[in-house]
Structure 1
Amino acid sequence: MTEQSDKTHCTTKDFLVSGESFSLVWNEDQKILITQPQPLKENLNKYYESNEYISHTDSKKGLINFLYQAVKNYSLKRKLRLIEKLHLGKGSLLDIGAGTGDFLKYAKDNNWEVNGVEVNASARSLSLNKGIQLKESIEECKGNQFDVVTLWHVLEHLPDLQNTVLNIEALVKEGGTLIVAVPNFNSYDAKFYKEFWAAYDVPRHLWHFSQESMKMLFSSKMTLVKTKPMIFDAFYVSLISEKYKNGNTFSLKAFWIGLRSNLSAWKTKEYSSLIYIFKKAN
């Protein structure tokens, strides 16, 4: 690492489970922030052991859960519409980090051949109740390829980033599509909330991406063809950030910051979260 690589961007903490402190360290070569220290792979699960970890539950109890589930249901249609516009038809779909399986169920109901990966046993169980059986690891998909591979706010969770990226690329058919959605630490809401920005979510988020880093991350086989915003994320992330910063379960200020973030990004294109769409060379 270069001297610049060791520069600490900020110190934050795990607000959800452990209360432990972590540093976000700038890596100049990759243009990313890295959570330090990183938990050992075998210890990661304990940081997800919370009833408040929303993507592993279907709960609608409480305002934040209710809003999350409402936006999730709306987003299912938008996600599939985006995929079908890009793919120009049906095909095989692999969703990595499939959570409780809602996206895959919606895709299956719309005549897609679906497969999914989810490491959390409780989420896999909820998915199975919906008729969607998920694999436990990416390794179980080895040797198969899919027309479309998606990771909706998942890449930031995966250990051993470089090898994981290569394994993901191998799962995409030639001419196929890879869709990756991640938070953007260059957004207005990230800069406003600083160490309280909920999308840092240490240590569950091991890596923190910018548009520059996402352009560098994948091999030359993958061409970035489009970047799209996730408008609702600015509001949702700001709502949780206010809770972390000021203890407010509901805050009108959070909606104001979310709005300012989106208005700022209308010019800068630095939205709170972004969807990166890659095509694999034939």
Structure 2
Amino acid sequence: MNKKGIYLKVKDHSVSKETFDLVYNTHEDILETQPQPHPDKLSEYYKNEDYISHTDAKRNLLENLYHFVRSIALKRKLKLINSFKTEGKNLLDIGCGTGDFLQTTKTDNWNVTGIEPNAEARKIANTKTENSVFDSSKLLELESNNFDVITLWHVLEHLPNLEEHLKAFNRLLKADGYLVIAVPNYKSFDAKYYKSFWAAYDVPRHLWHFSQTGIKRLIENFGFRFQKTLPMVFDSYYVSLLSEKYKRGYMNPFMSFWIGLQSNFKARRSGEYSSLIYIFKKS
């Protein structure tokens, strides 16, 4: 991997309090978290009862905000995949968390399968999907050329062995199937403003950090054609709220709203939203 030194040093604010380097890959325009935990030990960095995607709890402002935004986002995600002209309605959601997206699509007559490594989240997801969610080891056993759509909602940045996963997604998709990937954008205004306190770096759980150029270049190397990007406008507010907590030691809703608003306003011209959805089609 062609690298060019340390881009930024970032602390794991939520679990270990360790500091990690973000190393710049000049060829791919991607940042890589270093050192990366061994895959067998990576789960230790998720052992936090506040890790939102693994719980349905609504105990505080942040969790209630997350669930409110998620309810809106689920409708938009369903509308998006329904807009694709596909042969059938077979969906695979990677890193499905507690299964809300799968539950939403299942009620709209999609045939759903989920992959979720966290046992507690998987247990919750299976109560919503009639046991359609499996451990990560199941990915290699799934039938080739079977899925019309594969989705990764803020998941790609978590995956070790990135190349092996991308090869698997290509194998699992039908011809002209769609790969939908949502990831944070380290070139957004809120990322540049908060720097090492930007919550979407989330080291070491986030192993990779993507620019628009970098993710397109990476995914197209594995037999996909880029189609378009879509903004995730709520993310700048949520990420800024958590970033304020990391930076100041407490939540600052007014400042986080202001930074999130600025980020979205600037992105209307630059296209550099806090998070983006990338749509690819199998070549």
Correspondence 1:158 to 2:159: yes
2:228 to 217, 223, 226: 226
2:270 alignment partner, one of 268, 271, 280? 268
Match of 1:122 in 2: 120
Which SS does the other structure have where 1:67 is aligned? helix
Give the deviation of 1:251 after TM superposition.
Answer: 2.5
Contact 1:104 1:132 in 2 (8 A): no
Match of 2:95 in 1: 97
Q: What amino acid is aligned across from residue 234 of structure 2 in structure 1?
A: F
Pairing 1:213–2:211 present: no
**Match for residue 15 of structure 1?**
13
| Match in the other structure for 1:49 | 47
Quick check: 1:139 aligned with 2:140? yes
Is the partner of 1:42 in helix, strand or coil?
coil
SS in 2 for 1:87: coil
Kindly provide the amino acid, as one letter, of the partner of residue 116 in structure 1. G
Letter in 2 for 1:276: Y
Q: Which residue of 2 aligns with 1:198?
A: 199
CA distance in 2, matches of 1:82, 1:51: 31
TM-score, length-scaled by structure 2: 0.95
**Contact 2:177–2:281 (CA<8 Å) still a contact in 1?**
yes
Q: Distance in 2 between matches of 1:34 and 1:180?
A: 18
Q: In the alignment, what sits opposite 1:83? A: 81
Q: Could you tell me how far apart the structure 2 residues matched to 1:243 and 1:122 are?
A: 26
What displacement does 1:24 show? 0.2
- Identity among equivalent pairs (%): 52
User: Is the alpha carbon distance of 1:220 and 1:41 closer, same or farther for their aligned partners in structure 2, counting shifts above 3 Å?
Assistant: closer
Q: Take 2:109 and 2:172, find their aligned partners in 1: how far apart are those partners?
A: 21
Which 10-residue stretch deviates more, 233-242 or 214-223? 214-223
**Rounded Cα–Cα distance in structure 2 between residues aligned with 1:277 and 1:224:** 6
Aligned positions, number: 279
- The reply to whether residue 248 of structure 1 matches residue 226 of structure 2 is no
Contact 1:101 1:132 in 2 (8 A): no
Match of 1:37 in 2: 35
Name whichever of 125-134 and 47-56 sits farther off: 125-134
Q: For structure 1, which segment, 157-166 or 229-238, has the greater mean C-alpha deviation from structure 2 after superposition?
A: 157-166
1:72 to 51, 63, 70: 70
Moved more, 212-221 or 241-250: 212-221
Mapped to 2, the partners of 1:132 and 1:120 lie a distance apart of 17
Q: Do 1:105 and 1:132's aligned partners in 2 also have CA atoms closer than 8 Å?
A: no
Contact 1:187 1:261 in 2 (8 A): yes
- 2:168 alignment counterpart: 167
Uncovered stretches (5+) of structure 1, i.e. residues with no partner: none
With 5-14 and 41-50 compared, the bigger mean Cα shift is at: 5-14
CA shift for structure 1 position 142: 5.2
2:128 aligns to what SS in structure 1? coil
> In the aligned structure 2, how far is the partner of 1:168 from the partner of 1:18?
32
Q: Bigger CA drift: 12-21 or 166-175?
A: 166-175
Residue pair 2:149, 2:179 contacting (<8 A) in 1 also: yes
Counterpart-to-counterpart distance in 2, 1:208 and 1:29: 14
More displaced 10-residue stretch of structure 1: 142-151 or 259-268: 142-151
Separation (CA, whole Å) in 2 of partners of 1:243 and 1:73? 24
SS in 2 for 1:237: helix
